[in-house]
Amino acid sequence: MFVDEVSIRVKAGDGGNGCAAFRREAFVPRGGPSGGDGGRGGDVVLTADPQLSTLIEFKGRREYRARRGEDGRGKDQAGRGGEDLQLRVPVGTMVYDADTGDLLADMSSAGDTFVAARGGKGGLGNIHFATPWNQAPRTAEPGGTGEERALRLDLKLLADVGIIGFPSVGKSTFIASASRARPKIADYPFTTLTPNLGVVYLDDVRALTLADVPGLIEGASEGVGLGHRFLRHVERTRALLHLVQDSPGEPERDPLADYDAIMRELSQYSPDLASRPQVVALNKGDLTETREAFPVWEEEFAARGIALRSVSAVTGDGVRAILEELWALVSDPPAP
């Protein structure tokens, strides 16, 4: 199950109370104060883990508490500090304050850490309150209260290239052909219900991360279909692969109309996203009717200043050339 947004509440541990105690030893009639300090409360720490790809671990549990510090004891013994609570989140998780909406942390790199709530300070024992005029203080501090806050975790997948297009244009097939990702593929719309990530190795030193956006249809930016849930997952991409297809069985649709419809959705969702450099490709080039129609559509797109490529995600024809073109856009993006 893919979960990309959750709300949780975190509570750091309270500090332990300081101790008010006195030395009680034979032949030491006035041993003085010996109360130790309380231990510090544990922090709640978020860590970006590259092995995770979803926030599903937080779905069934909404409250997380770190351990409190131990109370101080006699004989100058300080209490043990509370253990930090470590919460693992996927790389690409953005942490917001649920009450104010402020962005607190962007966990964009593996190993990034963020202290979401700090533990309370341990209280001082009475050994700290002895003075020449008060040599037997009975005062000790209570432990400090650990921080508590409501958080909203918002996962935005990190990828170099976002693959966009109408359902059934072959986005999942392309990502499966180019990488080792194995998304569900079938011949009906909305087969893909969650975003897919795939890593493509062009050679020993060059690699591209691809992410497809499922369920993107007209009206997606306003909540129609599934695409509105996943548009955010291409916000961080540096380039787009826009797949279109010739649909002879659907005369009301054509590649150029589909292209315009998807670009309208991107513009309405985020003008910046719509302006990303992209490669536009007519998929399913292994079909005879698509090969025959390609010159016509190539000319139609060229009239709009768009270079149309031909590709077959099924046979792999043209896939390498498109990956190289995408690499050029990602490694050396054009100046705005």
Q: What angle do CA 41, 45, 49 make, to 5 degrees?
A: 155
Residue 313 in any domain: the answer is: yes
Whether residue 53 sits in one domain with residue 178: no
148 and 251 assigned to the same domain: no
Domain end marker among 155, 170, 195: 155
Q: Could you count the other beta carbons within 10 Å of the beta carbon of residue 205? A: 6
Report yes or no on 336 lying in a domain.
no
pLDDT, residue 105, reads 94
Residue 53 structural domain: 1-155
Co-location of 115 and 8 in the same domain: yes
Cα–Cα nearest to 221, from 269, 267, 156: 269
The enclosing domain of 85 has a CATH number of: 2.70.210.12
Q: Tell me: do 87 and 230 sit in the same domain.
A: no
DSSP 32: -
Give dist(CA 278, CA 237) in Å, integer: 11
61 shares its domain with 169: no
pLDDT at 223 (0 to 100)? 47
Whether residue 12 is contained in a domain is answered as yes
Structural domain tally of the chain?
2
Q: Answer whether residue 122 is part of any domain.
A: yes
Residues contacting 11, CB < 8 A, separation 6+ = 44, 63, 64, 65, 66, 117, 146, 147, 148
In a domain, 142, yes or no: yes
Domain boundary among 130, 155, 180: 155
Rg (CA), the chain: 29
- Please return the burial class of 191, using the count of CB atoms within 10 Å of its CB with bins 0-12, 13-18 and 19+: middle
Q: Are residues 131 and 270 in the same domain?
A: no
Residue 63 located in a structural domain: yes
Residue 275 has what pLDDT?
Answer: 87
pLDDT at 308: 93
- Please tell me whether residues 325 and 195 are part of one structural domain: yes
Between CA 86 and CA 299 the distance in angstroms is: 57
Q: What is the structure's pLDDT at 248? A: 60
Q: Tell me, what CATH number does 311's domain have? A: 3.40.50.300
Domain annotation covers residue 192: yes
Instruction: Verify that 128 and 219 share a domain, yes or no.
Output: no
Out of 87, 122, 155, a domain closes at 155
Same-domain status, 147 and 255: no
pLDDT digits (tens), the chain, 336 positions: 567 789 999 999 999 999 999 887 777 677 788 889 999 999 999 999 988 878 888 888 899 999 999 999 988 899 999 999 999 998 889 999 999 999 999 998 889 999 999 999 999 998 888 888 888 888 899 999 999 999 999 887 777 888 888 877 788 788 887 876 554 443 434 444 566 777 788 888 888 888 887 756 555 445 444 455 667 777 778 899 999 988 665 556 689 988 998 888 888 888 888 888 999 999 888 888 888 889 999 999 999 999 999 998 888 898 899 999 999 988 865 554
Is residue 177 domain-shared with residue 98, that is, in the same domain? no
Whether residues 176 and 130 share a domain: the answer is: no
State the number of CA atoms in the 13 A half-sphere of 106 facing the CB: 7
Q: Are residues 144 and 236 in the same domain?
A: no
Q: So what's the pLDDT on residue 187?
A: 45
Q: Is residue 273 part of a domain?
A: yes
